[in-house]
Amino acid sequence: MKIDHNSAWELDPSASITPQITRILRKRIIQNDLKAGDRLSESELARSYDVSRQPVREAFIKLADQGLLEIRPQRGTIVSRIGYYAVLDARFLREAIEADIAKILAARPDPALISDLRSQLDRQQALDRRECGAFIQLDELFHRTLAEGAGKAGTWKQIEGLKSQMDRVRYLSLAEFRIDNLIVQHRALVDRIAAGDVPGANSAIRFHLREVLRDLPQIVDANREYFDLPDGDMPPPVNAPIQGGENA
């Protein structure tokens, strides 16, 4: 197992240890710093962070519940493969939730929120196109801001817990990341919200969140060792038409 001493992975001794270790390991798995099949050692991590094994063990259990680790009694703990159906299910649930968020916002456009979102779009546009990881962070901020603007901050926390496998796919696809496409989609969504166009906002967010479906077959083909595929093969990612009569 790699023990990374990057300052971003360091612990704050004044804060609770288990949530910090959980957050650090979760982030490293999502960013593929810890890869599918990597073996994690409870004792090595505890020694590295100068903590007892208990908080590490608790972090392992939480991450196993999220589908990111496999705890194998007497055999050790390994980073799970990305569940193909877990990606599709998480994306489906996220679309359902964020479509309602977009409709709430478009029903009562908030000028201050629109201004904040447009400022974020400017920051996204200004990024060097090679800074894909930085764009993902700005993308997270954008979607979290939408949820908070709709009074659904708690719902966004639920989404964050659901979309771990989706996020692993996004980091795997950095080489093919089409930032310009995503910014155009973000801008279209903000324009529909600002115009008070509820059906348009609904269609815009659904189209945007189906981007991963368009890319998924190529990402899987290029990284098959990372994925847990049903029966070793990849069925097509099927979705119903976007509400309002527009197809995906």
- Domain 83-232: top CATH class: mainly alpha
Q: How much is the pTM?
A: 0.82
Tokens at residue 68, please? 């990111």
For the cut 60, the answer to whether the pLDDT of residue 241 exceeds it is: no
Give me the sign of the Cα torsion angle 93, 96, 97, 99: positive
CATH architecture of 7-80: Orthogonal Bundle (1.10)
* Positions of CATH 1.10.10.10 in the chain: 7-80
Residues pairing with 82 in the sheet: 227
For the cut 90, the answer to whether the pLDDT of residue 22 exceeds it is: yes
DSSP 160-218: HHH-HHHHHHHHHTGGG--HHHHHHHHHHHHHHHHTT-HHHHHHHHHHHHTHHHHHHHH
Q: Report pLDDT for 239.
A: 54
pLDDT digits (tens, 9 = 90+) for 183-236: 999 999 999 999 999 999 999 999 999 988 888 888 888 888 899 887 766 666
Cα–Cα distance, 207 to 94 (Å, whole number): 12
pLDDT digits (tens, 9 = 90+) for 106-115: 999 999 999 9
For the cut 70, the answer to whether the pLDDT of residue 58 exceeds it is: yes
* Positions of CATH 1.20.120.530 in the chain: 83-232
